[in-house]
Each structure stands twice: as C-alpha cells, then as structure tokens.
Amino acid sequence: MVNEYKVTRGLEINISFLWHRDRSVNKSVYLSVLRHSQQLWGYSPEDKMAAEAAFGEQLFVGDQVLRIRPENEEQLRSLRELEEMEDLQIDFWLGPAKPSLPVDIRVPFQVLQSVKVFLESEGIPYTVMIEDLQDLLDQEKETMLQSRKSGRSSGTFSFSSYHTIEEIYSWMDDFVAENPGLVSRLQIGQSYEGRPIYVLKFSTGGDNRPAIWIDTGIHAREWITPATGLWTANKIVIEYGKDAALTAVLDSMDIFLEIVTNPDGFAYTHTTNRMWRKTRSVNAGSSCIGVDPNRNWDAGFGGPGSSSNPCAETYHGAFPHSESEVKSIVDFILGHGNVKSVLSIHSYSQMLMCPYGYKTEPAPDHQELNDLAREAVSALADVYGTVYTFGSTIDTIYRADGTTIDWSYENGVKYSYTFELRDTGRYGFILPANQIIPTAEETWVALLRIMEHVRDQSS
C-alpha cells in the first residue's frame, strides 16, 4: 500500500507539475489519475460502506469542507469540471458562480488529497473550513440527545435545539390546541412518501384576507431554517397584542407558515444522510433519487441555472411542479388568490434576495424591493451585528432557474424574497444549536420590517 501510495502520489504531482507548466498535457489524463487514486487514500470505499451499514446512516469520517477562492474565469471552469465528476462524490455547498464569490465543497476523505493536489496544480487558493465533518455531526447529535432528555424531564419544548419531523409535528398539535383563537393547522398536500404537508395559519378572523406566506426547510439539510420557523411561530403568538407592529399586521392580514416544506428529505437527514438536499422522489430511468425543489418551479424552468442530470443537487425534475411538495404550495397560493408576500427561507450565506434569479433583466418593482431589502438587513444587523448582502438573486449570488420567488413574483406576489440565513461558511449547514435563537431573533426583525411594508401597501 505504501509503495502504491508513493507511486500514485508521485504521478499526481508530476502530472500536476507538467500541466501547470504546459497546458498541452491532456487534462483528462490528470483527472483520470485523480479518479483512480481514491482507493489509495486511507480506508477503502468498501470499508466505508460496511461501517455505514452497521450504523444505518451515511458517515463523513475524515471528510473536509474546503473554502475555495477562484480568482478568474479559468479557475471557475476548472471547478465546474470538478463538479461534473460525479464518481468523486464531491458535494458543492456553494457552487462556482463568479470570481468574487467563494466556493465551498465537502470532499470525501478517499479523494481529499487528490482534490487538494488538483487545486494546487491549478493555482486555486483554498483553506480548510471544517477539518472533519463527522466530528461536527457527532457533536450535533449529542446536543440533540441531551436536549431531548432535558425536554422529557421538564416537559418543555426547546426552541434552542434541532428537532426531528416527528417532534415538530407533535409540537404543532400542542401549539394549535393551546392557541385556538389565533392558530390553526392546514394540510395542503402529501409528500412523495406520503407524509402530510402542514401549514400553520395565524389569523384574527375574516375571510380571504391579504396574506403573507413564509416557508422554511425546502432544502432538507438546512436545519437552521425550520428551527427558525419554529421559534418564529412561537414569537407570533407571544407578541400578538403586545408588539404594536405585529399586532397591526395580524389585525388586517393572515400569516401562513410552512415549517417543514420538504418532509421526506428532512426526515432522511435525521435517519440516513445528514447532508441530503433534495426531495426523495424516484426519477424514471435513473438510480439517483430526488429533485431540487427550488429549481422545480415554472419560472425559467430548465434553464442553465439548474441541472438536467437527475444525480445533480440542482436537478430541476422532469417537468415544472413535478414534486408534490412544490405543487401543493402552487395550488395553495393560486387558490388563495390574495397572497401579497412570499418569504422563502434558506441557509447559508447571509443574504436577502429578490427576483430575478433566472434572468438579468431587473424586475419591474426592483427599486422598491431592493430598498425594502436594504431596510430589512439594516434592522437585522442592529440586533447582533450580522451583516447581510442583498439584491436580485442573479446579481447577489448566481443564476438560479425555477425558483420559488421567481414563480411567485410572476404570479402576482410582488413582495417575494429569499433569505439565506447564517452563517457565511464557518459551519455552513451544520450551524451549532447555540446559534438558533440568535439567528431567529435577528431574522424576525427583518421579517417584521417586510411584513409592515406589505401591510401598509395592502391597506
């Protein structure tokens, strides 16, 4: 093994050096070596599969998250080539977009050194953001277990902890029962695997009043978003009748809050693969599961800001609204007919974005939406100093086709925004539970600023 290691490592370095000096060297030769070297680093894929079978879940022992800072378009092209190499199983947390934006990748341990050599040979700078992903996941799981024990002994629900879908749905039962004058629960559909899709309705009465829609958890691994949704639901009940701004909103409008927008994917992150993003639907003709539910909407559907490959994280699906999780929202919003704002909450990157994502043309209401975003992120920053960027999706982050807010905007919902919550990459999708409440608190003031504006414009 040692000799094989040295030979393969040397071959990688030699090819990298030649390639760096002379670009006539066939890039595919180097990439082929990169592919075939993965079994020569540490434990084998078979060892990993055996361990996962024993534990019943996917493990990420030794996996690192690298922050890459491409400096030019050529380096971005190299990263996109790396992204297309499916057999390396590199997970792009933040994809290659533009030289001004970082790229975050989770690299499996088996190919870690090879990928680093690849980056170094290209002169692409990187740093290690997460040294061993499994260490963070073990800490996360232990924190959840301790919180669960504490909750059982005290009989309370902790908003400072992450929860399973079963715990969230059980909490909803109690929450609605305790607040019947303000909160009701609607089932707007079923997930692919048959789980109910629930929405909490906050209303002080009246029929078909102007409404605000908020969804969290559309991407399964973004746990901070449903955690923020839970805290927000509780905050609405606590503050109604006390906070003048919220009370004024709810006295004239309804709020619909979908906390677990991707039930199957979310459940899967708790049982099997913490890093799962998509839905869990079966794709005809492919062994790869799931669709990106934020590329499945009928607004620029199928464009280059999404993927036609069922194995890709941004796979758009066979047709618009193919996913029941998406179609349920579409049918609800269109059926309601008086939704004035759609606020779709994601993580991570600390951004507040408005349409468009699928085209560079400014939205007709861009100036008003941009000014309101500026006010909202300013209010957010006043809480803990957290800095957000803002603007249209395509200008702020990257081109994204088939997204929630582009669809809602094009279907008459003027105040359509996407939030990207904490952080900016130190923990990424594995934000520690001790940041849940601070994240929710600062997000709340931004949400409330938007809701106040929507109320004023809808009255």
* Residues labelled catalytic: 420
Q: Count CB-CB contacts under 10 A for residue 61.
A: 17
Render 336-365 in DSSP notation, one character per residue.
Answer: H--EEEEEEEEESS-EEEES-SS-SSPPTT
Please answer whether residues 390 and 373 qualify as being in contact, where contact means their C-beta atoms are separated by less than 8 angstroms. Answer: yes
Q: Which two structure tokens, joined as six digits, stand for 130?
A: 């997460």
The amino acid sitting at 391 is G
Please answer whether residues 421 and 443 qualify as being in contact, where contact means their C-beta atoms are separated by less than 8 angstroms. Answer: yes
Cα angle 411, 350, 111; round to 5 = 105
- CA nearest to 228, candidates 459, 438, 456, 454: 438
Which residues, 6 or more positions from 240, have their beta carbon under 8 angstroms from its beta carbon?
182, 202, 204, 246, 247, 250
3 state DSSP class of 168? helix
Parallel, antiparallel, or unpaired: how do β-strands 254-258 and 196-202 relate?
Answer: antiparallel
State how far Cα 258 lies from the chain centre. Answer: 15
Q: Measuring CA to CA, how many Å separate 276 from each of 89, 272, 292, 314, 326?
A: 13, 9, 10, 12, 17
DSSP-H helix ranges across 125-182: 133-154, 165-178
For the chain, how many residues are written?
Answer: 459
3 state DSSP class of 391? strand
The amino acid sitting at 36 is H
Extract the runs of DSSP E, i.e. beta strands, from 166-247: 183-190, 196-202, 211-216
Which residues, 6 or more positions from 101, have their beta carbon under 8 angstroms from its beta carbon?
94, 397, 398
Render 3-25 in DSSP notation, one character per residue.
Answer: HHHHHHHHHHHHHHHHHHH-TTS
Please answer whether residues 66 and 126 qualify as being in contact, where contact means their C-beta atoms are separated by less than 8 angstroms. Answer: yes
